[in-house]
Amino acid sequence: MLLVVDVGNTQTTLGLFGPDDQLARQWRMASDKTDTADELHERLYGYFMMLGRSLSEVNDVAIASVVPILTQEWLYMMGHVLDARDVLLVDPRRDCGIEVDMPDPTQVGADRIANAVAAREAYGDSVIVVDFGTATNIDVVDARGRFRGGAIMPGLLLSAGALFSHAARLSSVPLVVPERALGNSTEAAVQSGIVIGAAAQAEGLVRRIKDELGEPDATVVGTGGLSREIAKATDLFDALDPDLTIRGIKLIWEHRARKRAVR
């Protein structure tokens, strides 16, 4: 079986792919920057026990990480503690199956590359991904199938946390779409500003990106933990695809495996 690990700043998402290449199970855990390889192994062992499975069933591992301190712990755990046969780290400096048309591809996050690869596979060329995570990323694949970059902005939880910690009279509210953009209470006004504001921000950036690309009909895909809630406030998205990043990491692993096979 293939275990895919997407290490984000706030959450780590894990996906288990069976012999039929289908996503058999997906689960999330907090990204704790103090975790050691042994602690990660203990948590992973517990998840597999709950599934009634054994870690020995994992033959291959693919990891994408934007948290360097955890990258090393995951790699050590998979390679030395778990003794996986093949461990791939998604690295923009190596061939990931997509051309990166940027001045310095090494600065691109592994999750953004994975999004681009999966979006192109599922929706074709000329596709824009809006990923609502700790940061909200907009990842762009042009009509020639090249990753062109995009935009990065503070995510909803980050924005909300900054607002609540710096505005003394504002308290935390549920991050859900209010009935109207015109909030008639402090809670509704905050929800409008954060949630509907995030939707409007994405709409504006996507519109500008389409204009700059000259691709007005580019497909727009929403992903990330809050994408379903944001989608209630906008008609921006042609599709919602919560498993996009995990599938992209798997596709990169498959691409690299094919390259090794022909050597």
Give the residue numbers marked as catalytic.
111
Contacts of 189 (CB under 8 A, 6+ apart): 183
Contacts of 213 (CB under 8 A, 6+ apart): 126, 140, 142, 143, 148
Please report where in the chains the tokens 């940061």 appear, as a residue.
135
Coil/strand/helix, residue 164:
helix
| Burial of 11: CB neighbours in 10 Å, binned 0-12, 13-18, 19+ | middle
Name beta bridge partners: 222: 130, 240
d(CA 193, CA 209): 23
d(CA 97, CA 253): 10
The CA-atom distances, in angstroms, between 175 and each of 160, 202, 229 are: 9, 17, 8
User: What angle is formed at CA 53 by the lines to CA 49 and CA 59, rounded to 5 degrees?
Assistant: 120
| Burial of 90: CB neighbours in 10 Å, binned 0-12, 13-18, 19+ | buried
